[in-house]
Amino acid sequence: MSRIGKKAVPVPAGVTATISDRILSVTGPKGTLSIPMSDDIAYAISATEIGVNPANETKRARAFWGMQRTLVANLVTGVSDGFTKVLEITGVGYRASVQGSNLKLQLGYSHDVDFAIPEGITIKTPDQTTVEITGNDKQRVGQVAAEIRRWRKPEPYKGKGIKYRGEVIFRKEGKKK
């Protein structure tokens, strides 16, 4: 039994869910998101919640149950609140700024890195060493954050690079004399 799957997904005010052509669509103030429905899962939509249950007692249905409930919960959260990832840049001369539809990163290379901001994603730089990535799709927000972080991953000796807020970088001791 899935402990996650047993809980129904609450639907806040201003959010509506509909099923058409085996696609579950959720609409809210931050847009519309949808996922294809699995044949092994039965979805029950009411005005205040979305229930997710296995359609049969197969091993595949029980395996999909908790994951499908989490995907539905991510849709509801995305269209009502949205998702945010915060990156912190550490290093002398490392900085970021948003210029039009590009994120300009100076990361110690001989050239600046221009990262094109994808459609549906908002990037803000409250200061030169902080990058806030916001959107309604959790997977796309995480993917954009990972692509930006890939330009200069944090290194273990001085801690320089791009890291997620709250990420712990295990530091190594340098050479000894």
Q: Write the CATH number for 158.
A: 3.90.930.12
What range defines the domain where residue 96 resides? 83-164
Q: Are residues 64 and 92 in the same domain?
A: no
Looking at the structure, do residues 66 and 93 belong to the same domain, yes or no?
no
pLDDT of the chain, 177 residues: tens digit per residue: 668 888 999 999 999 999 999 999 999 999 999 999 988 999 999 989 999 999 998 999 988 899 999 999 999 999 999 999 999 999 999 999 999 999 999 999 999 999 999 999 999 999 999 999 999 999 999 999 999 999 999 999 998 999 999 999 999 998 887
Question: What are the residues facing 27 on neighbouring strands?
Answer: 16, 32
CA pseudo-torsion sign 107, 109, 111, 117 = negative
Please state the domain count of the chain: 2
Which pTM does this prediction carry?
Answer: 0.88
On whether both 38 and 91 belong to a single domain, the answer is: no
Q: Are residues 70 and 88 in the same domain?
A: no
C-alpha distances (whole Å) from 82 to each of 31, 44, 61, 86, 124 are 10, 24, 29, 13, 15
Give the three-class secondary structure for 4: helix
Same domain, 105 and 55: no
Instruction: Classify residue 173: in a domain, yes or no.
Output: no
- 164 contacts 170 by C-beta, under 8 angstroms: no
